[in-house]
Chains A and B, each alone.
Chain A
Amino acid sequence: MMDLIWLITGMLTAVAIITVHFSMQRYALRWLELAGLIGGIGLIIFSVPWAAGAILEGVPRAASMGILLFGLPGLITLAMTWKMISKLPKKETAPQAAQTTHDAATPKPLEPIRVRSKGKWSRPVAYIAYAILAIAFVTGFFTTQTDFSSQLAATFPDATISSMESKPPVFKLEYPDGKIKYATIGTGQGYGGPLVVGLLISQDGTVEKLKLLSNQETPAYKKKVEDAEFSAQFLGKKVSDDFVIGQDVDAIAGATVSCVAGAEAIREGSHRIATGQLGMTPTWTDQPWIFDFKDSLVLLLFCLAFWGALFKNKWGRYVYLGASLAIIGFYANACLSIASLGAIPLGYMPSIKANPSWWILTFGTLVTIVALTKNIWCNKLCPFFAMQFFLNKISGTKIKLPDHIAAYAQRTVSLLLWLSLVTIFLTRNPALGSFEPFSMAFSLNGEGLQWFLLPVSVIGAFFIPTFWCRYFCPLGRGLNKLVSIRKSITKKFNQTKEA
């Protein structure tokens, strides 16, 4: 791996030397520009192996810092120097340079941007892409069925185990000292999919041991819950307890959805043992509706998104986007991602009673697409759009990608959406395919590559308006695709009606 990094560094150095060489040939560089050019390139090249080395050592934060402390100043130095160089007069001494200047005076017309229109291959390629998605879905379904029974049985090597129920598994454990315990699993719906907890219950109905057997939570959130020792508060509780967040157990701030899922899993497992093995009659309360202030604000913002006049007014739009950034982004951290869309076909939906915001935003957006053929998420509700909008307003720069790159970049988004969905369906883990930096942007909990994606996309949005939305957002492309599918269905329906 390190060899590859040195290779990349070497290539970068070669490109840098060529750039400096041509700049010197073309422009009468003074020492200041030369120093800026070499210094800027040097800093960027230095930051590459630094960052890569730090990643390999498992310290992505150090890598991120390396890029921010060396790469970014290098980029700024280079950009400023380049601005100075472009104002310099061109050299006219050497014959070759003279020739170049002549060419420069009468430049060849640029070739027209070749944006290929939908050719004969686009339809077969689309069908193949859909077919692969379907194959990934089916393959994922059959390959990721985990056998929790054997996993659970292997956790208690010193007991005699007899199976009481199979789906879901319940085991009776008999220990040499005569003690009897029960083991089972419980499942809750987390942010990324099912969260499975193994439980060990004593004969008097006390929760003795908990083990997280499987989860698909974003690693940063999982770590937060583990660090706060969330599960410790369940140990020693009775199986007949309610296990409801906000009543007899507490959530960890900033990771509520994962905590609700954990409590749901433990509740399910405990109550199964209580009624099935210990012969108790249910005295516990059901999961109550958790519709708090945060959810009311999200619902209000969702309803306001339909008020067209609000967005026509400049200040109305500013206030709305500010509210979306503050509420859906930072306060509720309920920004949708491709994981939210991808989770639906997999059947991984968090409980509506415990996560009304998720349901309002996800299903609200989808129902609006189906009923009104409108995508109200992008450019309105999305807090990451609001973040980019304000960043770009602050910078005041509106750089565009060169047309020929932009044309391909916009096509690449479809490819990214497809790759992301294939990953989600194949792994049946929505968090794995969701490469968006949204949740990290609003919680600053990140892992690995996310430490780089966030700063780079934020810097991008600073210079290029709606950088992420235009060139990367798989959710935006997915929602717009749904809108166009909905439109074509209406069109076909109308055509058949006319015929």
Chain B
Amino acid sequence: MKKSLGAVAVAAVMALSLSACGGGSSSSAESSKGGEINYWLWDANQLPAYQQCADDFTKANPDISVKITQRGWDDYWSTLTNGFVGGTAPDVFTNHLGRYGELAENKQLLAIDDAVKKDNIDLSQYNEGLADLWVGQDGKRYGLPKDWDTIGLFYNEAMLASGGVTEEQMKNLTWNPQDGGTYEQVIAHLSVDKNGKRGDEAGFDKNNVAVYGLGLNGGGDSSGQTEWSYLTNTTGWSHTDKNPWGTHYNYDDPKFQESMDWFAGLVEKGYMPKLETTVGASMADTFAAGKSAINAHGSWMTGQYTGYQGIDVGIAPTPVGPEGKRASMFNGLADSIWAGTKKKDASIKWVEYLASADCQDVVASKAVVFPALKASSDKAAAAFAAKNVDVSAFTEHVKNKSTFLYPITDNTAKVKGIMEPAMDAVVSGKAPASSLTQANEQVNALFK
């Protein structure tokens, strides 16, 4: 309860330490070759793979050791910011597309163009587009890609079987914002009320639904990464005027608003849970509890969905949209170097190693995420297959070039701050999608 003064005090102490330490860290920017590098990441599932990479790296470079620190996503960015200010940030850290623009602009990231040129790193060996994501607005490179993710439909095999929906049908779903295509038909058919009536039968009680055809994760805020972007972006709509570094958002486009009205309509029809019921238990856990038949989610969730006991899960590609193509957001992480590092050369070496086949093959073998290198991605798919998980729904997007990039712009945190409540209002049925026009004006005012 007594946070006010505390928060002010923290900010002030941080500010004081800024003035106290600022000079020290910048003046001693001489680069030594060896020593210990600090490396941060947020995903605990990936820690074992990267620990092995670090051990292998030290074996090859005995004068450099790597200390890995894993912090949960919630603390990661604030701790990192404190580190930048206080001069204790890690030399190398896992970076996110939604954050690095601001960090680069504030001169916290080391541009690595010279090193990439000098060490002849072939940027075409990465999956298409991933390397370009990490070139900032100033044209400089601030990271080397490490992994990627796309969206797919996780489904409960038993529920599909009892509804008579085949795997073949799931692979060939179509969607449009007017009647929802075969995607809506399947979702309706898989929705079952308390009396056992299906969503496409007469007398379906939409107020007493036992199983929803489609699970809901949330309103999706500015990106709708797993919630709606795999649908809205099949209509030819895109989040921004250009990507990366767009300066105009398009939430006022009638095409987009039509899609969002359709999406929110699923709740009204009783095919998708109400937004208010999704606060709390995670969408994946609700799926495991048998409350939804299909969940659209990211490839990084594969381990969790296929790991639930007593439930058989299949993965289908996202539906084909009105323009005859599928769509999936393509998000990628990279490793960046802090501008204030005192071990520049060693840090560059470590980043290049993380982006090399030596390390990415290790990551692939753990079957947790898809590494950025094309060759390593295939190895990861094979590692998933060895666990009896077919991940072609995710890799297909990359092979068929049906991906679009995570919207990279300035002010991403502020855009999210505006769009989160606006999207919640639409998905919960409190406001029509046309209300997004006003939110869009607020968003675009940030870029003036």
Co-assembled chains A and B? no
Give me the interface of A with B, judged by CB distance under 8 Å.
none
